[in-house]
Amino acid sequence: DIQMTQSPSSVSASLGDRVTINCRASQDISTWLAWYQQKPGKAPKLLIYAASTLQFGVPSRFSGSGSGTDFSLTISSLQPEDFATYYCQQAHSFPPAFGGGTKVEIK
């Protein structure tokens, strides 16, 4: 099974900051990677799929990059509504697996 490892587990940042979250797969998944955002008490929301394709309606300050085993999610200028937990997920093969999550907190 493919394992997904996210870093850091949490990050403190201020409004307007650039934030980058990393995700590493235990084997090559090409660009079969998704990023989800989850706010407290809410369901996850798909932000990015195929490593870098923004889901419809997602603000352009979000971007994804990477291929193979190393990926990143970048928020170019942190907004109040971006404080949440972010998860990566490999979609390359069964079973699909999530990373452990990265909580973006207010500094």
Partner 1 sequence: EVLLLESGGKLVPPGGSLRLSCAASGFTFSTHAMSWVRQAPGRGLEWVSTISSGGGSTYYADSVKGRLTVSRDNSKDTLYLQMNTLRPEDTAVYYCAKGSTWYLVDWGQGTLVTVSS
Which residues contact partner 1 by CB under 8 A?
32, 34, 36, 38, 42-46, 49, 55, 87, 89-101
CA distance 71 to 68: 8
- Name the DSSP letter for residue 42: S
CA distance 34 to 7: 15
Shortest distance in whole angstroms from residue 54 CB to partner 1: 13
CA distance 14 to 72: 19
Shortest distance in whole angstroms from residue 49 CB to partner 1: 5
Shortest distance in whole angstroms from residue 40 CB to partner 1: 11
